[in-house]
Every structure is written in C-alpha cells, then in structure tokens.
Amino acid sequence: MGLGGCIILIAVGAILTFATDWEAQGVNLDLVGLILMAVGIIGVATFTSIARRRRAVVPPVAPTVVDPTDERRY
C-alpha cells in the first residue's frame, strides 16, 4: 500500500467517524472509522520511514588524479 492508499484510508475513516450518521445492526461505524484512520496513520509513518532510508545519500568519492608528467611513477 502506497502513500495514496494510506491517505484514502484516513479520509474514509474520517468520513465514517465524523460525517455520517448511519447505523448498521451489529457494526459500530464510528469504531470502524477510527480503526481505518489508525491504520492509515501507521501506514503513512511506515512509508515515510522506508522512503527516508531509500533516500540516504552517500557522498561521492573524489577521483584520484594522476599527473602524467610525474616521473616517480616509472
């Protein structure tokens, strides 16, 4: 699940929790919405920590410059 899927989970969970007044027999939609938001937030945190590790920049090694006129090499 990518970052977009996590944001969609958060949005759907918020809609179920705060914007609807539906009632389903045997299902607490407020709790379902809270669970979806929690899973989305955990997914965003996981995705960003993995993406931060992938972007670790290793400084390039400076190339060794050889002077062709240096006679000590031979």
Q: What does the pLDDT read at residue 63?
A: 76
Q: Are 37 and 9 in contact (CB under 8 A)?
A: yes
Question: For position 49, what pLDDT does the model report?
Answer: 86
Q: What is the pLDDT of residue 62?
A: 77
**Residues 28/52, Cβ–Cβ less than 8 Å:** no
Return the pLDDT at 13.
96
Per-residue pLDDT for the chain (74 aa), expressed as one digit of tens each? 788 999 999 999 999 999 988 888 999 999 999 999 999 999 999 998 887 776 666 777 777 777 777 666 55
